[in-house]
Amino acid sequence: MSNTKSTKKNTTTIEWPSAHFTIEDVQSKYPSVVNITLRFRVKKAVENKEIVTIGKIKPAIGRPKLVFAKANPSKELIESAKAVGVLTLDEKSMVAVAELKSQSNMSKMVASPVSAMQTSMSADASI
């Protein structure tokens, strides 16, 4: 006698929200779907270009959460996501740069390892 169990496949069809959403938002809409199954379906939908990743939400502690939208999101949808605090993918590649000004008439002194060793050896010899 075999101890195998027959498993029932979950054939729930996921309808993606028309607004921006995270995996947790979809999980709350479909609580019967296992989390890893939902993540796999999101991954497949991104690969099939049904949905796109539009940004991230950075919590105070923990990993950033990806934010998704249906393919070809409108400008209004992206603006509403920014208003809620979503960092778009373009903004994450931007880095704040500070401009530094120096006086051109200042001379720079650079010490090489050899000159530093010679100085310390001559100081030891004079002792």
What is the model's pTM?
Answer: 0.61
State the fold for domain 11-92. Arc Repressor Mutant, subunit A (1.10.10)
Listed in sequence order, the residues at least 6 apart from 103 whose beta carbon sits closer than 8 Å to its beta carbon are: none
For the stretch 59-114, pLDDT in tens is 889 999 999 999 888 889 889 899 888 887 754 444 444 555 666 655 555 544 54
DSSP codes, 2-37: ----PPPPP-PPPPPPSS-B-HHHHHHH-TTS-HHH
Nearest to 24 by CA among 60, 81, 84, 67: 67
User: How do the domains of the chain map onto residue ranges?
Assistant: 11-92
72 three-state secondary structure: coil
